[in-house]
């Protein structure tokens, strides 16, 4: 798997405060090799979890992240995603199941949803509205959360340090490897989609896709 030398600290995991996270392009690894099987090996959640943990130890970091506007048609080859609609509209943070998470900025919980679909589903999802917008970002969501781990209710205020939920295991998070999906929404996106997961996805069409403006880069939320 490819990574650059960029390291940052992520503020939304209390147990990882002050520890380094490193950018990684997971699709780069899936592109490599002369043989390209019909189904990417990274769809095997256990294999992907183990590979990431080895890399984290090698790099001396607590976790890794990446994904915003990356074309992941190789990484998720053989999944429900079509090759021309595999551009990631969010950031994935590769943290272990059970890791607690909070928010960086004061927010209000809009709604919670649980998607049990095991072929590319969302698992547990919490939608938030920022008390103060960050650029065009007014709302955001955390996805792939453990079932029953959400500690907040709709309408509740959440402040930095308040525990929201924990990261889910494969069978709880939609069938993916263990990670947190963070997706930012504009006010226009919230007005159009709300918290209805049937109306949008974490992936979109190639970079000119019409859905991209609805989902800005969420890195400032982390």
Phi/psi at 124 (5° precision): -80, 135
CATH 2.70.70 matches 100-221: yes
What is the C-alpha to C-alpha distance for residues 62 and 59, in angstroms, rounded to an integer? 9
Straight-line distance from the first to the last Cα atom of the chain, in angstroms, rounded to the nearest whole number: 23
Q: What are the residue ranges spanned by the domains of the chain? A: 2-91, 100-221
Which of 194, 222, 198 is CA-nearest to residue 90?
A: 222
What is the largest distance, in Å, between two alpha-carbon atoms of the chain? 52
Q: Per-residue pLDDT tens for 37-94?
A: 889 999 999 999 999 999 999 999 999 999 899 999 999 999 999 989 999 999 999 9
Identify the residue whose tokens are 């019409």.
210
Q: Assign 3-class secondary structure to 154-198.
A: CCCEECCCCCCEEECCHHHCCCCCCCEEEEEECHHHHHHHCCCHH
Q: Per-residue pLDDT tens for 1-23?
A: 444 556 889 999 999 999 999 99
Which of 85, 80, 72, 73 is CA-nearest to residue 122?
A: 80
Mean pLDDT is lowest, of 5-9, 118-122, 125-129, 186-190, for 5-9
Q: Per-residue pLDDT tens for 153-170?
A: 999 999 999 999 999 999
Global pTM reads: 0.94
Residue 1's pLDDT is: 40
pLDDT band at 106 (very low <50, low <70, confident <90, very high): very high
Residue 2's pLDDT is: 44
Phi/psi at 155 (5° precision): 90, -10
- Cα 58 from chain centre: 23
Phi/psi at 204 (5° precision): -140, -170
- Cα 22 from chain centre: 15
Contacts of 193 (CB under 8 A, 6+ apart): 185, 199, 200, 214
Which of 92, 72, 86 is CA-nearest to residue 204?
A: 86
What is the C-alpha to C-alpha distance for residues 111 and 126, in angstroms, rounded to an integer? 6
């Amino acid at each position: 798997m490819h990574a650059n030398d960029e390291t940052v600290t992520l503020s939304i995991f209390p147990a990882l405060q002050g520890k380094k996270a490193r950018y990684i392009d997971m699709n780069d690894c899936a592109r490599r090799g002369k043989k390209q099987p019909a189904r990417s090996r990274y769809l095997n959640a256990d294999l992907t979890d183990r590979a990431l943990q080895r890399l984290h130890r090698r790099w001396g970091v607590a976790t890794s992240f990446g994904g915003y506007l990356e074309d992941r048609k190789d990484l998720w080859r053989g999944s429900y995603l079509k090759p021309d609609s595999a551009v990631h509209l969010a950031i994935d943070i590769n943290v272990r199941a059970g890791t607690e998470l909070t928010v960086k900025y004061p927010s209000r919980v809009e709604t919670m949803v649980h998607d049990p679909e095991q072929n590319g589903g969302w698992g547990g999802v919490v939608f938030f509205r920022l008390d103060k917008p960050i650029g065009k970002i007014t709302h955001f969501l955390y996805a792939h959360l453990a079932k029953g781990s959400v500690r907040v209710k709709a309408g509740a205020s959440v402040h930095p340090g308040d525990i929201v939920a924990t990261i889910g295991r494969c069978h709880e998070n939609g069938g993916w490897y263990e990670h947190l999906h963070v997706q930012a929404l504009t006010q226009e996106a919230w007005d159009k989609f709300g918290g209805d997961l049937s109306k949008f996805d974490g992936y979109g069409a190639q970079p000119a896709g019409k859905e991209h403006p609805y989902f800005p880069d969420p890195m400032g939320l982390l």
